[in-house]
């Protein structure tokens, strides 16, 4: 009986000791697990950042890779415009343009594009396009280039008249590229979800389109070939009109926010990015990020 009581007493002491040890080490274990989870979420967030950055840059590429027409020689009268959000265009007077971002006005050459041989003027093409009667198009070959207008569109073909009177008759017999011309404004403004977004508005008429929610800030710089030797000479940090004959590409800087940030911190980590224009962008990692990207318009 004494042995049994002694055994029970020993077990009780051991149990109390185990409970004491658990009580001592449990807080440390919980903290370690929480930190491990936070580290895992942080890694996931930075992985999400890389995915989002790649998607944003692919989107910029899709929007702006056709800002130069498909021709051997670019008409020197063609240009694109880059301006500050501090000076919004009249077309966007009803929108609140982000004052810290740039806006771009340019023509998307070739949202619809295909090869044709001109047998007559007007000419016909079986291209299935978004264009409609009255829209302007371009025909370009290595010999020449012509403006044209859509006369009518049916389910199977489009009829296009090249402009220029007797001069346009010289296009007969030439093979080249016919392409649509759609002029837009691209800019940063408040999106439908309440945060800044990347928008596009047709120059003349039509509805504005929210392209990407979460792009908070944008700067655009032309990469210029001043002596037309095929190489970039300068990254221009100014504003104004830039001849397409000199523009080889665009340097794009942007700030973005993750919609579903897995690592929200009570005290976000503030970081600074120095823009090519000498501006300091303050953003809070890891739920915000900054990126830059080159859009090639002509071989560099």
Residue 15 has pLDDT above 80, yes or no: no
**pTM of the entire predicted model:** 0.82
Rounded Cα–Cα distance for residues 111 and 134 (Å): 16
Question: Comparing C-alpha atoms, which of 230, 231, 229, 225 is closest to residue 243?
Answer: 225
Rounded Cα–Cα distance for residues 153 and 159 (Å): 6
State the Cα torsion 125-129-130-135 to the nearest 10°.
Answer: -20
Q: Quick one: average pLDDT of 61-71?
A: 91
User: Do 69 and 145 touch, CB atoms closer than 8 A?
Assistant: yes
pLDDT digits (tens, 9 = 90+) for 236-290: 999 999 999 999 999 999 999 987 776 555 556 888 999 999 999 999 888 889 9
Phi, psi of 42 (to 5 degrees): -65, -45
**Residue 96 DSSP SS3:** coil
**Residue 125: CB atoms within 10 Å:** 18
Question: Comparing C-alpha atoms, which of 64, 82, 122 is closest to residue 298?
Answer: 64
User: Do 148 and 136 touch, CB atoms closer than 8 A?
Assistant: yes
Largest CA distance in the chain: 124
Question: Comparing C-alpha atoms, which of 165, 221, 212 is closest to residue 191?
Answer: 212
**Residue 193 DSSP SS3:** coil
Rounded Cα–Cα distance for residues 22 and 131 (Å): 74
Specify the pLDDT at position 56: 95
Rounded Cα–Cα distance for residues 5 and 11 (Å): 10
Question: Comparing C-alpha atoms, which of 28, 61, 29, 51 is closest to residue 294?
Answer: 61
Q: Please, what is the Cα angle at 250 between 248 and 254, to 5 degrees?
A: 170
Q: Please, what is the Cα angle at 277 between 274 and 280, to 5 degrees?
A: 30
Going from the C-alpha of 53 to that of each of 98, 165, 189, the distances in angstroms are 21, 49, 19
Question: Comparing C-alpha atoms, which of 255, 261, 270, 222 is closest to residue 104?
Answer: 222
pLDDT digits (tens, 9 = 90+) for 26-53: 565 555 555 555 555 555 655 667 888 9
Q: Quick one: average pLDDT of 112-138?
A: 90
Specify the pLDDT at position 10: 64
**Residue 270 DSSP SS3:** strand
Rounded Cα–Cα distance for residues 66 and 48 (Å): 29
């Amino acid at each position: 009986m004494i042995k049994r009581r002694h055994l029970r007493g020993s077990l009780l002491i051991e149990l109390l000791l185990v409970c004491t040890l658990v009580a001592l080490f449990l807080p440390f274990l919980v903290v370690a697990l929480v930190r491990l989870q936070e580290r895992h979420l942080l890694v996931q967030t930075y992985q999400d950042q890389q995915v989002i950055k790649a998607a944003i840059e692919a989107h910029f590429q899709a929007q702006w890779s056709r800002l130069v027409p498909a021709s051997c020689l670019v008409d020197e009268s063609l240009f694109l415009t880059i301006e500050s959000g501090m000076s919004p265009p009249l077309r966007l007077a009803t929108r609140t343009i982000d004052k810290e971002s740039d806006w771009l006005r340019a023509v998307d050459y070739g949202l619809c594009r295909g090869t044709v041989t001109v047998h007559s003027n007007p000419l016909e093409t079986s291209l299935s396009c978004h264009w409609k009667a009255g829209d302007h198009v371009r025909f370009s070959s290595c010999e020449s280039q012509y403006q044209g207008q859509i006369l009518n569109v049916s389910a199977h073909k489009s009829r296009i008249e090249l402009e220029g009177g007797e001069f346009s008759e010289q296009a007969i017999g030439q093979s080249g590229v016919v392409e649509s011309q759609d002029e837009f404004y691209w800019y940063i403004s408040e999106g439908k979800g309440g945060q800044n977004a990347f928008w596009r508005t047709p120059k003349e008429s039509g509805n504005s389109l929210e392209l990407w929610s979460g792009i908070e800030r944008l700067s655009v710089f032309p990469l210029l070939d001043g002596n037309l030797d095929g190489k970039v000479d300068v990254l221009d940090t100014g504003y104004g009109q830039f001849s397409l004959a000199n523009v080889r590409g665009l340097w794009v800087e942007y700030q973005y926010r993750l919609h579903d940030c897995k690592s929200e911190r009570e005290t976000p980590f503030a970081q600074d990015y120095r823009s090519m224009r000498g501006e300091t962008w303050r953003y809070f990692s890891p739920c915000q990020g900054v990126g830059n990207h080159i859009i090639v318009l002509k071989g560099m």
